[in-house]
Structure 1
Amino acid sequence: MRNDPASLATAVLARVGGPANVTSAAHCMTRLRLTLADPTAADPDALRSVPGVLGVVDGGDGTWQVVLGPGVVAEVTAEVTAEVDRRRPARAPGAPSAPGSALKEELRRRNATPLKTALRRIANVFVPLIPALIGCGILAGLNGLLLNAGWLPGLTPALSAIASAFMALIAVFVGVNTAKEFGGTPVLGGAVAAVVVYPGVAKVTAFGMHLAPGQGGVLGALAAALLATRVEKWCRGRVPGALDVLLTPTVTVLVSGLVTLYGLMYAAGTVATAIGTGADWLLVHAGAVAGLVLGGLFLPLVMLGLHQALIPIHTTLIEQQGYTVLLPLLAMAGAGQVGAAVAVYVRLRHDTSLRTTIRSALPAGLLGVGEPLIYGVSLPLGRPFLTACAGGAAGGAFIGFFATLGTQVGATAIGPSGWALFPLLTGNAGPAATMAVYGGGLLTGYAVGFAATYFFGLTGVGDRPHEAPSS
């Protein structure tokens, strides 16, 4: 039975120190992301025991990720936000901080390693873009099918415009989100990032050659907006208040825009080209090995919440080539997880609680949402998590092997995986071959994940009852 979002939100807040301890709340496809003023006030064990909570990830820098699953996470986030806004106590300007706040801030700083902070902030920039990437990617795939079949010729130009418009201007959205995340004025970040995609840059010569609209892509937009934020902050502290409204935006856009045109676009374009070239080289020359490594390591990245840091790479590949060749390889991790879960279901036939969890989480797992199975099944059991990774590695190696033979499998958007990725598939060998290779990878992941778990993943567990977290 589905948990009531309001009750679940109340239960989560009670175990993270209450609404007053939450400084921000957001969500991705499956996780409620909380930033806490006092991370030590959270009780992770109590949080994991809440019915409906599938897992908890401590970001180590005051951020917590509560895995709730698709659909429900958006409703719970809305309830959490409303409760925080309603019950957070206001502190008068100049009032002293709560006792021990200095110590708590010191603990937060110690846990906020540069790598963790950078990955979290990158995720905060790109995660809000995922719904549009999914929607536009599906429409692009549908439009491609209609074009290939010669159907509805009067509709395909409209679908093409709808599907392509967001990707054409994604740099602006990246700029807005970057400035917002790093403390600048969002519209100024967007204004500077818009330089990257403005058609008029073709008339600008830098490093002895004309720039190309879109050169540098999302990486250039990210760098441009970061620079704009730094310039804006520098101006705010030096420009007299009476002139701030005129000079600060002007200087920010001028300085950041010029640096973007005469430096950042070229540098980011070089990096973006290297990413595309490197991905192609890797698959052509070491496809099976690359697929083995990527498919095998992706589940640990998902478990730690670090998989969002790959979004800029996926987005760069989609901008350059029209699809990302990495996502189908990474999606094999979910196939290994499904195979492992089915093996657990078959072997532990007397564990009613665990089998119920698997039945409820398996549909989401087939559609590429792996957290319910990770936190509800394989991770609590231990060894099945490793055998699930083995299944993912096998599926990735399968797709990578065909890449070395010349059949590349890509995705026109990011977000879905599993069976939900089929509408987004494309490649260089036609839709039939692309779907066949991807489907073969899924079946390989299922089979190896199942076999490895059935024969090696449950040694010593047998039919012993196991209390899995309620789903």
Structure 2
Amino acid sequence: MSTDKNRATAAAILPLVGGPDNITSVAHCMTRLRIGLRDRSLVQDEALKALPAVLGVVDDETYQIVLGPGAVARVTPEFEALVAKARTAAPKPVTAAELAAQGAALKEAQKQRNATPVKLFLRRVANIFVPLIPALIGCGIIAGLNGLLTNLGWAPGIVPALAAIASGFMSLIAVFVGYNTAKEFGGTPVLGGAVAAIIVFPGVAKIDAFGEHLSPGQGGVLGALAAALLAVQVEKGCRRWVPEALDVLVTPTLTVLVSGLVTLFGLMFLAGEVSTAIGTFANWLLATGGAFAGLVLGGLFLPLVMLGLHQALIPLHTTLIEQSGYTVLLPILAMAGAGQVGAAIAVYCRLPRNGSLRTTIKSALPAGFLGVGEPLIYGVSLPLGRPFVTACVGGAAGGAFVGLFNQLGVGFGSTAIGPSGWALFPLLDGKAGMGATVAVYAGGLAVGYLAGFTATWFFGFTRQMLTDLNTDPEPAPPTPEASKEPALT
């Protein structure tokens, strides 16, 4: 039955994005179905938003349909299957000229609006790490369970097995990062993985670089990212001058050799220094200016989520997890979701007669409490404008609370990335003990909820907004004034 529901959702989405011939690529992240389009004008945005399974849409470099965690992983393969089936049943050749005619204007407009070099690079970095999130979550939760069993002294026979399961992926994450980096930047994925594998090879301990022995894993994911990027450039250079008859032998050999030597005698050391500096700076920042740092980080995170750039923080989180076992940044950033929830509840209370908007809030709040913010962002606060700002105020207050306790010595973080809100509780870890860690995080959520609610209640609406939005969903007929629809219903 569940499969039928997912297939029905995919079938409903496909014609609203222009049909199979308008699709150039299909992928998904934690919550969004990401579709490459030939012609953006064929997409029916309002009809898509009206589908019960669709929580929101984002028009970015790819067209992103927010379906929520779990659902997106099930709908995406059904969507891909429908696209493939339709193309097989009714193939329509598309020439390069036709493609150019359909998409050139849209692509140029998008480039001018969004494709700054920094934003493009950040999106590509996010594309490298997003496919790794499910494994990071699974291994992080298992690591948390293992830590709990260890502290309680339960099931000592299973603890080593859980440790192996939780640590195996993290010990080889550099290889996956290298593979995805080469794939994203146009190289041969396995060559990127091969070069990145050098970083975690135990034998590097016998090699001296910059006057000291290397350590397996030195440089971590940042070193793997840099090594694979170098491998892509070497490979592309080889493709240009190596004769075709020798390409299959010479290109991969030179790619691995040149990139490997540079990695061993340069990148591992440099990336290791950068990784250490990131960890040191993050800990120093929260230890000395925790409240202010938390305020800034918690307040600015919702705009990053809105732009889809929050995924670019994954390398930083992963680096911190590699170094200390948890990322101290994620619990603070999670406060942005608490501010969003508080703001949404205030909107619900301030607009008692807007049935449509209240229904949207009721359906999106459970996901919001679990840290999935897109439904509330795109369905409630962002369209209203002011409540989005007051939601950021709530996030800033919650972030300042958590940051303050970091400054007071109750430092903690998350053993994995991905979950947020209440879903982050099983992943919390810190040096102050689980009781204090859970209490501070829960207190931060409470502060975020309360500040987001209060700021939205008092400052989230103008008088005119309340007049326009707080309307009876079933008005008495037909005067011109009464027949005007609310702005967001």
Give me the TM-score of the superposition, normalised by structure 1.
0.93
Task: Kindly indicate whether structure 1 or structure 2 has the higher relative contact order, using CA contacts under 8 Å at least 6 residues apart.
Answer: 1
Structure 1 equivalent of residue 118 of structure 2:
115
Q: Aligned ranges for residues 421-460 of structure 1 at < 5 Å?
A: 421-460=424-463
SS in 2 for 1:201: helix
Find the counterpart in structure 1 of residue 471 from structure 2. 464
Paired residue for 1:76?
75
* Counterpart AA for 1:20: D
Change (3 A) 1:57 1:331: same
* SS at 2:241 equivalent: coil
The count of residues paired between Structure 1 and Structure 2 equals 467
Is 1:387–2:390 an aligned residue pair? Answer: yes
Q: How does 1:358-397 map to 2 (within 5 A)?
A: 358-397=361-400
Looking at structure 1, the residues matched to 44 and 205 of structure 2 have their Cα atoms a distance apart, in angstroms, of: 55
The correspondence of residues 30-429 of structure 1 with structure 2, limited to 5 A, is: 30-59=31-60, 61=61, 63-88=62-87, 96-98=97-99, 100=101, 103-104=104-105, 106-107=108-109, 109-111=111-113, 112-429=115-432
Contact 2:144/2:426 (<8 A) preserved: yes
Q: Quote the residue 1:27 is aligned against.
A: 28
After TM superposition, give the deviation of residue 378 of structure 1 in Å. 1.6
What do the CA deviations read for 1:242-266 (whole angstroms, capped 9, x no partner)?
3222222111111110011011111
Moved more, 440-449 or 81-90: 81-90
Distance apart, 1:398 and its partner CA: 0.3
Find the aligned partners of 1:200 and 1:91 in 2 and give their Cα distance: 53
Structure 2 residue identity aligned to 1:31:
R
Q: Displacement of 1:164 after TM fit?
A: 0.6
SS of residue paired to 1:410: strand
Separation (CA, whole Å) in 2 of partners of 1:109 and 1:333: 29
SS in 2 for 1:237: helix
Check 1:93–1:441 CA distance in 2 against 1; reply closer, same or farther (3 A cut): closer
SS in 2 for 1:65: strand
Contact 2:294 2:332 in 1 (8 A): yes
- String of CA shifts for 1:361-400, please: whole Å, max 9, x gaps: 1111111111111112222222221111111111000000
State the shift of 1:350 in Å.
2.1
Matched residue type, 1:160: A
User: Kindly tell me: are residues 52 and 270 of structure 1, through their superposed partners in 2, closer, same or farther at Cα, counting changes over 3 Å?
Assistant: same
Equivalent-residue separation in structure 1 for 2:212 and 2:200 (angstroms): 17
2: CA distance, partners of 1:138 / 1:377: 31
Maintained 8 Å contact 2:302/2:337:
yes
Q: CA deviation at 1:354?
A: 1.8
Paired residue type of 2:262: V
Match of 2:13 in 1: 12
Secondary structure at 1:100 match in 2:
helix
Deviation at 1:308, TM superposition (A): 0.4
Identity %: 69
Counterpart CA distance in 2 for 1:468 and 1:181 is 41
Q: Are residues 269 and 468 of structure 1, via their aligned partners in 2, closer, same or farther at CA, if it must alter by over 3 Å? A: farther
CA 1:469 to 1:158, structure 2 compared with 1: closer, same or farther past 3 Å?
farther
CA 251–285 in structure 1, closer or farther in 2 if over 3 Å, else same: same
Cα deviation for residue 292 of structure 1 reads 0.6
Contact 2:39 / 2:103 at 8 angstroms: preserved in 1?
Answer: no
Per-residue deviation at 1:13? 3.2
> Partner letter of residue 17 of structure 2?
V
Q: CA RMSD in A?
A: 2.3
Structure 2 unmatched runs, 5+ = 474-485
Native 8 Å contact 1:377 1:468 kept in 2 = no
253 and 371 in structure 1: CA distance in 2 versus 1, 3 angstrom threshold: same
Q: Which moved more, 1:335-344 or 1:414-423?
A: 335-344
Q: CA deviation at 1:445?
A: 0.6
- Secondary structure of the corresponding residue to residue 372 of structure 2: coil
1:53–1:68 CA contact under 8 A, matched in 2: yes
CA distance in 1, matches of 2:456, 2:7: 37
Label 1:94 to 1:419 Cα distance change in 2 as closer, same or farther (>3 A): closer
Evaluate the alpha carbon distance shift between residue 283 and residue 99 of structure 1 in structure 2; reply closer, same or farther with a 3 A threshold.
closer
Partner secondary structure for residue 33 of structure 1: strand
**What SS does the aligned partner of 1:368 have?**
coil
1:426-462 deviation per Cα after TM superposition (whole angstroms, max 9, x unaligned): 1121111111110110111111111222222234244
Work out the CA distance in 1 between the residues paired with 2:149 and 2:268: 35
Deviation at residue 95 of structure 1 after TM alignment:
6.4
Cα drift, residue 80 of structure 1: 2.2
Inter-CA distance 400–99: structure 2 relative to 1 (3 Å threshold):
closer
Letter in 2 for 1:451: T
Q: Is the 8 A contact 2:38 2:103 kept in 1?
A: no
CA deviation vs aligned residue, 1:226-279 (integer Å, no higher than 9, x gap): 111121222223223332222221111111100110111111111111111111
Greater CA drift, 338-347 or 369-378: 338-347
Farther-moved stretch of structure 1 (209-218 vs 66-75): 66-75
The 8 Å contact of residues 354 and 468 in structure 1, kept in 2 or not, is answered as no
Against the structure 1 CA distance between its residues 425 and 91, is the aligned structure 2 distance closer, same or farther, given a 3 Å change threshold?
Answer: same
Distance 1:414 1:203 in 2: 33
Q: Is the 8 A contact 1:409 1:438 kept in 2?
A: no
Contact map agreement 1:49 1:469 (CA 8 A) in 2: no
Q: Is the 8 A contact 2:392 2:452 kept in 1?
A: yes
Q: Confirm or deny: 8 A CA contact 1:380 1:468 kept in the other structure.
A: no
Give unpaired runs (5+ residues) of structure 1: none
Moved more, 49-58 or 419-428: 49-58
Shift of residue 93 of structure 1? 9.8
Residue 151 of structure 1 aligns to a residue in which SS? coil
The TM-score normalised by the length of structure 2 is 0.90
